[in-house]
């Protein structure tokens, strides 16, 4: 299989990363990691919605439990707090399951 056949697949697997508003980044840097290279945090939005299991890494929100895409924009965030409410986000992802199925 040539590289041109793989690239469209890779693009469809990539997710949109949402930067954490700069006012919260220093707080997260001081807090401990949930796992190597990531933290699980809660995010509260200005409209009152909240999300208890949100994975952050390197100043970005990379996954929200129960959502295929990040369901909010950076300017909607009112607070971010580390809570370490773990879940195995790496294996539970439907995208990863599809990628594994494609290689079998």
pLDDT of residue 15: 63
Which long-range contacts link 95-100 to residues 24+ away (Cβ below 8 Å)?
Answer: 95/13, 95/15, 95/68, 98/13, 99/13
pLDDT of residue 89: 81
pLDDT of residue 103: 43
The ranges of the chain with pLDDT < 50 are 1, 3-14, 94-104
pLDDT of residue 75: 94
How far from 40 is each of 4, 55, 76, CA to CA, in Å? 36, 5, 19
Look at the pTM and tell me if it is higher than 0.85.
no
pLDDT of residue 50: 97
């Amino acid at each position: 299989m040539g590289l041109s056949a793989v690239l469209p697949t890779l693009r469809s697997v990539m997710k949109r990363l949402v930067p954490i508003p700069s006012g919260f980044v220093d707080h997260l840097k001081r807090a401990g990691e949930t796992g190597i290279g990531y933290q699980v945090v809660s995010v509260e939005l200005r409209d009152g919605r909240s999300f208890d299991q949100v994975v952050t890494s390197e100043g970005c929100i990379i996954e929200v439990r129960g959502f295929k895409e990040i369901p909010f924009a950076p300017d909607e965030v009112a607070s971010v707090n580390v809570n370490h409410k773990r879940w195995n986000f790496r294996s539970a992802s439907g995208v990863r399951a599809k990628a594994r199925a494609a290689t079998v």
